[in-house]
Amino acid sequence: MVGPTLSGGKQPRVTHRGVGIIAFLIVAIMFAIVYFGEHSTSYRIPITGGLIFTPTFIAVARSDRNTTAIFVVNLLMLGGLLASPEDLMQLARAGAAAGWVITIVWSFTDNRDYGVGAPQR
């Protein structure tokens, strides 16, 4: 099914600004907790959060239709890193690194619909 079209037969661009705002707020809250909390010397956690959500920010900037899915994967990676016990931290880092590379590539992929019913160019 083809969605609504603009004049000239073009599909409207879907923006995911809300997802980008949520990702930004998560990173900002992490910085605030470190800055105002007891762990004011350790900026590793919020910097890691910022890096993990980089694919989400890229997807939002490109109006990627998979932005929400990329955000969820990034959120799960962050949760896995924060919740991992010390003995599994190396495995969690390796998994997060692999997931980060995958989501970076995913956020840069072409997301046009070439299937049946796609507007002809």
Q: What is the pLDDT of residues 70-110, one digit of tens each?
A: 989 988 888 887 777 887 888 888 888 888 899 889 888 87
Q: Is residue 7 part of a domain?
A: no
Q: Is residue 66 part of a domain?
A: yes
**Parent domain of 50:** 17-108
Q: Is residue 51 part of a domain?
A: yes
Q: Is residue 29 part of a domain?
A: yes
Q: Is residue 77 part of a domain?
A: yes
| Cα–Cα dist 113/116, whole Å | 9
Quick one: three-class SS letters along the chain? CCCCCCCCCCCCCCCCHHHHHHHHHHHHHHHHHHHHCCCCCCCHHHHHHHHHCHHHHHHHHCCCCCHHHHHHHHHHHHHHHHHCCHHHHHHHHHHHHHHHHHHHHHHHCCCCCCCCCCCCC
pTM: 0.68
Q: What is the pLDDT of residues 23-37, one digit of tens each?
A: 888 888 877 877 777
| Cα–Cα dist 81/98, whole Å | 13
Count up the domains in the chain and report the number. Answer: 1
